[in-house]
Amino acid sequence: MNLAVRDVRHNAGRFVFTSVGIGLLLMIVMGMGGIYRGLIFEATLLVDRVGADLWVVQGNTRGPFSEVSRLPANLEYRVRAVPGVLNARRFVSHTIQREHQGRPLRVVVQGLSWPEDKGDWVPIIAGRRLGQAHYEMIADRSLGLSLGEKVRLGKDVYQVVGLTQGMVGSGGDGLAFLTVSDAMAVQFDVPGEATRLERAARLARLENIDLGRVTPLLSERVVGPARELPALTPPQVSAILLTLRDGTDPARVAATLSTWPDVTVYSTQQQKDLLLSGMVDKARRQLGLFRTLLIIISTIIIALIIYTLTLDKIRDIALLKLIGARNRVIVGLIFQQALLMGAVGYGLAWWLGGYAFPHFPRLVVIEPSDLIQLAFIVAGISMLASLLGIWKALTVEANTVLAT
């Protein structure tokens, strides 16, 4: 019988509890890598799903996911005239937090450029897509909203007509899809008192200039709704998404738009790179640091356990030496035991992770390449951890067994 297996059977309780502890530690190591991959997936999900060829954003900015971007909504019609552009859509995305039925509701409001974009690219699992220009929404299941439920956002009430799953923003908050006009109404909503004070301030400014004194009829206009003031620009959007005609070179269209001083143009890949190098980069480095520390801690723990088990077998090892056992037999005993402990811990980590990771608040993505990489890491740390026990075993004198 193999000496390592026999020793494990002799100390089964200690081996099992130790393997469980190592398995939990390795599960966290596995989860760290999965959380990082999930972070990237969630951060780039909307950019990938929206299906734009080019992103037109505010000049000298890095796009709506990296910083604030503001463009006039009528820019959509100007970019449609560029040769090679098939379609242009307004893009509005912002995060809000409200209280709904006594609980906090944090939502990423995503505007769909109705009626061109009715959310055909949104994976619907229940209900339907948007059927009218106002007061309807498609909600992600993670928001906890049910089909047909009504939610007050701003001064209006929106009904959930469709449910989707897995559609979240870069922060892990669920998406709610509204039309662009409704999304802007939610974004720029202000309390009624603030509106009243703004109208009073407009009237005061008008009365202090010559135009207000010689044109008293203007006072009736300035105290009305802001949208009726002709001098004000239309509501602003975050970006304009371009879909190009088949066979059109994106670089040529981007070069044309780059001559406009008020906008900056990015491809989808450039937008993803900017997103990942900005808000995701620090989280990636932090998760990588924690994962490295956990691997080091795992190595130290396994090394101390193997060393402790070796100390318990000092007299047995001395007896083996006394009867003429070669050093490779003793080395194999400790080396195989360390590998067996690492293998059992890895198996437990994989099994426990399959049950635990789906219940994490953020998405955990475990790919086969990650499992293979972790298997090699576990084998490596098991071999390194066994060196301390091997060193102790080889320094044991054979006559130790004769000592009292």
Three-state SS letters, 138-161:
EEEHHHCCCCCCEEEECCEEEEEE
Per-residue pLDDT band for 137 (boundaries 50, 70, 90) equals very high
Which whole number is the average pLDDT over 160-181? Answer: 89
Cβ atoms of residues 119 and 138 within 8 Å: yes
pLDDT at 55: 92
List 99's β-bridge partners, or say none. Answer: 104
- Residue 53 to residue 270: CA distance in whole angstroms: 11
> Whole-structure pTM over 0.95, yes or no?
no
Kindly report which listed range (29-43, 215-229, 320-334, 349-363) carries the lowest average pLDDT score: 215-229
pLDDT at 272: 86
pLDDT at 54: 93
pLDDT at 265: 92
- The larger pLDDT score, comparing residue 76 to residue 298, is at 76
Residue with tokens 């070669």: 326
The CA angle 82-88-90, to the nearest 5 degrees, is 135
Does residue 123 surpass a pLDDT of 80? yes
**40-95 confidence digits (pLDDT tens):** 888 888 888 888 899 999 888 888 887 888 888 888 889 998 999 998 999 888 88
Does residue 4 surpass a pLDDT of 90? no
Does residue 191 surpass a pLDDT of 90? no
HSE-CB for 321 with a 13 A CA cutoff = 19
Does residue 134 surpass a pLDDT of 70? yes
pLDDT at 39: 84
pLDDT at 404: 47
**230-257 confidence digits (pLDDT tens):** 555 567 888 999 999 988 899 999 999 9
Per-residue pLDDT band for 317 (boundaries 50, 70, 90) equals low
Does residue 341 surpass a pLDDT of 90? no
pLDDT at 118: 81
Cβ atoms of residues 349 and 27 within 8 Å: yes
Give the containing element (helix H, strand E) for 388.
Answer: helix 368-394
Residue with tokens 């552009």: 85
| Alpha-carbon torsion angle 362, 365, 371, 373, nearest 10 | -90
CA diameter of the chain: 117
pLDDT at 159: 93
How, if at all, do strands 85-100 and 239-244 pair? antiparallel
Residue 346, class by beta-carbon neighbours within 10 Å (0-12 exposed, 13-18 middle, 19+ buried)? buried
Per-residue pLDDT band for 8 (boundaries 50, 70, 90) equals low
Question: The dihedral of CA 120, 123, 128, 131: what is its sign?
Answer: negative
- Residue 65 to residue 276: CA distance in whole angstroms: 10
First-to-final CA distance of the chain = 29
The CA angle 42-48-52, to the nearest 5 degrees, is 145
Does residue 1 surpass a pLDDT of 50? no
> For residue 114, which phi and psi values (nearest 5 degrees)?
-70, 140
Residue with tokens 């998404």: 241
Does residue 346 surpass a pLDDT of 60? yes
Does residue 321 surpass a pLDDT of 60? yes
- The larger pLDDT score, comparing residue 136 to residue 8, is at 136
Residue 319, class by beta-carbon neighbours within 10 Å (0-12 exposed, 13-18 middle, 19+ buried)? middle
